[in-house]
Amino acid sequence: MNDLISILVVVIIMSDFLLLAAGSLRAAVRIIGFQGLALGVLPLCAHQNGLTLRLVAIAILVIILKAVVFPRLLLRSLRESGAPRTITFFVGPVSSLLLGIFVLGSSLWWGYLLPLPERSPYTLAVPMVFFTIVTGLLLLVSRRQALMQVIGYLALENGIYAFGVFFAQSESMLIELGILLDVFVGVFIMGIMVFHISREFDNIESSQLSTLRDWFRGSRRPAGGGGTLR
> pLDDT tens across 185-219, in order?
677 777 777 767 766 666 666 666 666 555 555 55
| Cα 212 to chain centroid, rounded | 26
CA dihedral sign, ordered 179, 182, 188, 192: negative
Residue ranges of the chain with pLDDT lower than 70?
1, 48-49, 116-121, 168-178, 181, 185, 195, 198-230
Q: What is the pLDDT of residue 213?
A: 56
Q: What's the rounded Cα separation, in Å, for the pair 96 and 214?
A: 33
Q: What is the pLDDT of residue 177?
A: 67
Q: What is the pLDDT of residue 16?
A: 95
Helices (H) and strands (E) in the chain, counts: 9, 0
Question: For the whole model, what pTM was predicted?
Answer: 0.80
pLDDT tens profile 93-108: 999 999 999 999 998 8
